[in-house]
Amino acid sequence: GESVGLHLPTLSVQEGDNSIINCAYSNSASDYFIWYKQESGKGPQFIIDIRSNMDKRQGQRVTVLLNKTVKHLSLQIAATQPGDSAVYFCAEIVTGANNLFFGTGTRLTVIP
Amino acid sequence: DAGVTQSPTHLIKTRGQHVTLRCSPISGHKSVSWYQQVLGQGPQFIFQYYEKEERGRGNFPDRFSARQFPNYSSELNVNALLLGDSALYLCASSLGGDGNTIYFGEGSWLTVV
């Protein structure tokens, strides 16, 4: 079946450094991608999304990059803060489909 | 404005029992989806409802059922609970249609003993 996967299950960064979380997807038909942040005991929180007709999108301190050639997605967090510590999921969806496919997530730990 | 709200937040049930979980979508959102998240994994799709009709179903047994009401709120029902049903059950809402942002609630933690 189709799957969304992550290269690194854990990532530790120093406060103030930039973080990069990577994600590989296998369904070439996927055309909408979302990054979610999930803190312990809470539901996934929307961070940023990108559609397949774009290769970069920026938000507040976050940037998502999409490389359709190699089916790769990344989330960049600038000046990482302790409050950024969480599990980050990328999710993909095919237009017209009904559900998001999630990977297993990357745990980001920010060291003060 | 309120986000996606779910109830109850936590509950404990015994094997073989039945459970009903409830979800209220963001105001104006007509699509509601349910996901199951087992500890240490990403959420897995269970159902999607749009305008009170089932639009999608994941790979879950018939013990799982859901419905959407005229006010777009939704219920997830699970019969004959198994220990493996212990998980965080997430509700997500969106405006409906393609490419609309999907927002999640805080979930209902179900423990089956």
pLDDT, tens digit, for every residue of A66-110? 999 999 999 999 999 999 999 999 999 987 777 899 977 999 999
pLDDT class for A15, splitting at 50, 70, 90?
Answer: very high
Chain B residues with beta carbon closer than 8 angstroms to that of A43: 4, 88, 90, 104-107
Asked if A43's CB is within 8 angstroms of B90's CB, the reply is: yes
Chain A residues with beta carbon closer than 8 angstroms to that of B26: none
Chain A residues with beta carbon closer than 8 angstroms to that of B92: 100
Asked if A34's CB is within 8 angstroms of B104's CB, the reply is: no
> Which residue of A43, A96, A101 is in closest CB contact with B105?
A43
A53 interface with B at CB cutoff 8 Å: no
Rg (CA), chain B: 13
Residues with pLDDT less than 50, chain B: none
Q: Is the pLDDT of residue A33 over 70?
A: yes
Kindly report the backbone phi and psi dihedral angles of residue A109, in degrees, each rounded to the nearest multiple of 5, phi listed first.
Answer: -115, 125
A45's CB contacts (< 8 A; 6+ apart) are A36, A37, A38, A39, B104
CA of B10: which chain A residue's CA is closest? Answer: A41
Q: Is the pLDDT of residue A2 over 60?
A: no
Asked if B76 and B89 count as a contact pair (C-beta separation under 8 A), the reply is yes
Asked if B6 and B103 count as a contact pair (C-beta separation under 8 A), the reply is no
Rg (CA), chain A: 13
Shortest CA distance to A40 belongs to which of A93, A92, A85? A85
pLDDT single digits (tens) B22-33: 999 999 999 999
Beta strand B108-112 with B10-13 is: parallel
Q: What is the mean pLDDT of chain B?
A: 94
Chain A residues with beta carbon closer than 8 angstroms to that of B4: 43
Q: Is the pLDDT of residue A5 over 60?
A: no
In this prediction, residue B98 carries a pLDDT of 66
In this prediction, residue A3 carries a pLDDT of 43
CA distance A7 to chain B (A): 15
